[in-house]
Amino acid sequence: MGRDVIIACDFSSKEETLAFLDKFEGKKPFVKIGMELFYAEGPEIVREIKNRGHKIFLDLKLHDIPNTVKKAMSVLSRLDVDMVNLHAAGARPMMEAAIEGLTRDDGTRPMLIAVTQLTSTDQETMERDLMIKEPIDRVVMHYASNARESGLDGVVCSPLEAEKVHSVCGDDFVTVTPGVRFADGDKGDQKRVMTPAEAKGIGSDYIVVGRPITASADPVSAYERCVKEFVS
């Protein structure tokens, strides 16, 4: 498993998504399909993009009772996606059930990644709304350890947390990091950002890049620039 750039295909329709991917001609970037596109187009969009030869991170962030998550994961596994995720807040029995559901008869399964605390949750929100009083970075590392002990492959985290996740959970525990911007680019609504080269430097395994590629006048060059800075 090597480092890779995952393009966040945050589009609302199949037409828009396929028109975007058509620009890549022979190239087959790893893509992330999120809730908006999946709920709009259903599993067919996953099959279509997979048939075109792309790897897919299906970002649906499951969180329910273990039995429900297990059954849902088994359906997602049959879609032949490469990476899926869940909320570590669902706790270890749910994460273990997710692994069971994902594992195919031949023993293979998509990578399973946990969301720890959403980056939209800060210390104040966590204390007030979730009644969790511990420092947020301890909570993030605890959730990451739970994910590791439940057999998951890694976590989605801020690039600023990736080094610590590796030191707590091991270098082979995968970090998938959004919040990536070019040094000369627009930050948009992301607050804590890193360039692809910096993300490589701190040991991110996968970067998830949306608007710096999707909103670029030349998405293919922007993607290639990410690959050049992050992978090569």
Q: Which stretch binds ligand C5P (CB under 6 A): 65-73, 139-147, 207-215, 219-227?
A: 207-215
190 forms part of the interface with ligand C5P (CB under 6 A): yes
The contact mask relative to ligand C5P for 136-175 (x = CB under 6 A, - = no) is --------------------x-------------------
Q: From the CB of 216, what's the least distance to ligand C5P, in Å?
A: 11
User: Among residues 112 and 156, whose Cβ is nearest to ligand C5P?
Assistant: 156
The contact mask relative to ligand C5P for 76-115 (x = CB under 6 A, - = no) is ----------------------------------------
Respond yes or no: is residue 61 known to be catalytic: yes
Catalytic residue among 14, 50, 61, 164: 61
Q: Is there a contact between 136 and 128 (Cβ–Cβ < 8 Å)?
A: no
176 forms part of the interface with ligand C5P (CB under 6 A): no
Kindly write down the DSSP assignment for every residue of 41-65, as one continuous string: H-HHHHHHHHHTT--EEEEEEE-S-
Name the residue among 158, 76, 134 with its Cα closest to residue 109.
76
216 forms part of the interface with ligand C5P (CB under 6 A): no
| Helix (H) or strand (E) run with residue 160 in it | helix 159-169
211 forms part of the interface with ligand C5P (CB under 6 A): yes
Considering only 4, 5, 31, 34, the residue that binds ligand C5P (CB under 6 A) is 34
Name the residue among 80, 64, 75 with its Cα closest to residue 101.
75
Instruction: Name the amino acid, one letter, at 84.
Output: V
Residue 151, exposed/middle/buried by CB under 10 A (0-12, 13-18, 19+)?
Answer: middle
User: How far is residue 140's CA from residue 147's CA, in Å, rounded to a whole number?
Assistant: 11
Please give the residue ranges that form the binding site for ligand C5P (CB under 6 A). Answer: 8, 10, 34, 118-119, 156, 178-179, 190, 208-212
